[in-house]
Amino acid sequence: MEWNRRDFMVGPIVMAGTAVLGRTDSLLTKLLGDSGPLIQRTLGKTGLTMAVVSMGVMNADIPGLLRRSYELGIRHFDTAAGYQGGRNEEMVGSVIKELGVRPEVIIATKQHMRNRPPNVAEAKRQFMDGVEASLRRLQMDHVEILYYHAVDSVEDARADGPLEALQTLKKQGKTRFIGLSTHKTSEILPEAMRQNIFDVFLVTLNYSMAHDTQMLNIIERAADRGIGIVAMKTQAGGTAKPDAKDRKQLPPISQTALLKWALNHEFVTTAIPGFSTYQHLEQDFSVVRNLAYTVEEKAFLEDKNFFAQAEFCQQCGKCAEDCPMHVDVPSLMRSHMYVVQYRNPALARDTMAGIEGGRGLAGCDGCESCKLSCRNNVQIGRKIAQLRTLARDNFVC
Ligand code: SF4
Ligand code: SF4
């Protein structure tokens, strides 16, 4: 059973108790039967220290989930301008203000650069305007980390407009640190390191990539240079709900096993699992004091079936080389994951809207069946077909 906004009844009682005690952690900790310190790490040269489990807010639409995360000891909250059309930032801002804990928390947000403005000055202006709007929604005068969001091409990683905007915003004190998020680590991180302005990288890291030593080495090299590493998509899309017929279901134990696997890389400071229910919060947070695998978790990681079951698109783009219409298959696979596995249609729509003209789902209209194949066992044709059906229904699934 999943706890949601309607049936979660313990939270208000627990929170009332903590308010009476004037403490945010002790009562809840006792109730949960946890003990011992949270594992904390420092985010590279930023000096920011945080628990290894943070909150990726993107799929959450329950303010109580943020309060509960704070109560448990999470201090790093990750959002973005594009999540839920800005409402995600508004929720973060409201909850932090209501809790009165702004000095204690680390807020990260992200800004896209889309549609390639005609010149550097215009690109810089658009980027800076976008960040000012984020700060208004967050009701904050600055954030701790401002990411250049979803930089998935070398051209974007070199784009002067956003790079200048980020440095100006840092000088103005609107962000303490500059970050970059990407789905194409091996391609983008070397270029981003050459730019020499980034303090933090937000990268996809999960067990389905365990054999990609080139990628792991690149991340480690960045960490060795003092760049803070935050991991996303650590649970390879999560356990699909029973009605998500598209995908075989991973067992619940997979989620803690996968999260521990990512965090057992010392170069990772923290992960931002995108939990959207209280149950998933409890599950993810349960690893924060001890990253040793249980017998069951070890058995799960040793079961090679995972790699077929996960069907995790690593965004390598190899399949797209064979697409006659040059469709942006990696972005479509990501959109599919957002709508089917994350149940976040807004994020899927936003991702599809960011696809360059002519390379979106409409390109598939003339194809009777997709013949592309994936070395990571992603069933591309099935996912494209399902995405087309979902898009026709405006992503109501
Ligand atoms: S579907 Fe497979 S081949 Fe295509 S981008 Fe994803 S991981 Fe690479
Ligand atoms: S359905 Fe056709 S156009 Fe679409 S991704 Fe597959 S091969 Fe490319």
What is the pLDDT at residue 116?
79
Strand partners, 110: 147
> Distances in Å between the alpha carbon of 226 and those of 182, 200, 220, 277?
18, 9, 10, 34
Q: Are the beta carbons of 71 and 38 closer than 8 angstroms? A: no
For residue 362, the ligand closest to its alpha carbon is 2
333 Cβ inside 6 Å of ligand 2:
no
Give 244's pLDDT tier (boundaries 50, 70, 90): low
329 Cβ inside 6 Å of ligand 2:
yes
Can you tell me which atom of ligand 2 is nearest the CA of 380?
A: 6
* Angstrom distance (rounded) from CA 285 to CA 272: 11
Residue 304 lies in a domain: no
355 Cβ inside 6 Å of ligand 2:
no
Q: Name the more confident of 251 and 216.
A: 216
Can you tell me which atom of ligand 2 is nearest the CA of 367?
A: 2
320 Cβ inside 6 Å of ligand 2:
no
**Helix pair 278-285, 253-263: axis angle to 10 deg:** 50
pLDDT digits (tens, 9 = 90+) for 120-155: 999 999 999 999 999 999 999 999 999 999 999 999
Q: If you measure from the C-alpha of residue 183 to the centroid of ligand 1, how many angstroms do you get, rounded to a whole number?
A: 12
Residue 376 lies in a domain: yes
Q: If you measure from the C-alpha of residue 305 to the centroid of ligand 2, how many angstroms do you get, rounded to a whole number?
A: 27
Tell me the whole-structure pTM to 2 decimals: 0.87
257 Cβ inside 6 Å of ligand 2:
no
Tell me: do 158 and 267 sit in the same domain: yes
Q: If you measure from the C-alpha of residue 246 to the centroid of ligand 2, how many angstroms do you get, rounded to a whole number?
A: 18
Q: What CATH number is given to the structural domain containing 249?
A: 3.20.20.100
Tell me: do 144 and 179 sit in the same domain: yes
Tell me: do 117 and 166 sit in the same domain: yes
What is the pLDDT at residue 3?
41
Residue 253 lies in a domain: yes
Tell me: do 293 and 323 sit in the same domain: no
Most confident of 17-26, 158-167, 352-361: 158-167
Q: Are the beta carbons of 137 and 111 closer than 8 angstroms? A: no
323 Cβ inside 6 Å of ligand 1:
no
Give 354's pLDDT tier (boundaries 50, 70, 90): confident
Q: If you measure from the C-alpha of residue 161 to the centroid of ligand 1, how many angstroms do you get, rounded to a whole number?
A: 30
Of 247, 264, 298, the position where a domain reaches its end is 298
What is the pLDDT at residue 353?
87
pLDDT digits (tens, 9 = 90+) for 278-318: 999 999 999 999 999 999 999 999 998 888 888 899 999 99
pLDDT at 28 over 80: no
Selection from 235, 313, 316, 227 nearest residue 272 by Cα: 235
pLDDT at 350 over 80: yes
Give 176's pLDDT tier (boundaries 50, 70, 90): very high
Tell me: do 324 and 376 sit in the same domain: yes
Tell me: do 284 and 364 sit in the same domain: no
Give the range of the structural domain holding residue 109, as residue numbers without chain letter: 37-298
pLDDT at 93 over 80: yes
pLDDT at 323 over 90: yes
What is the pLDDT at residue 25?
44
Q: Whose CA is nearest to atom 6 of ligand 2?
A: 370
Tell me: do 195 and 82 sit in the same domain: yes
What domain count does the chain have?
2
pLDDT at 5 over 80: no
What is the pLDDT at residue 199?
98
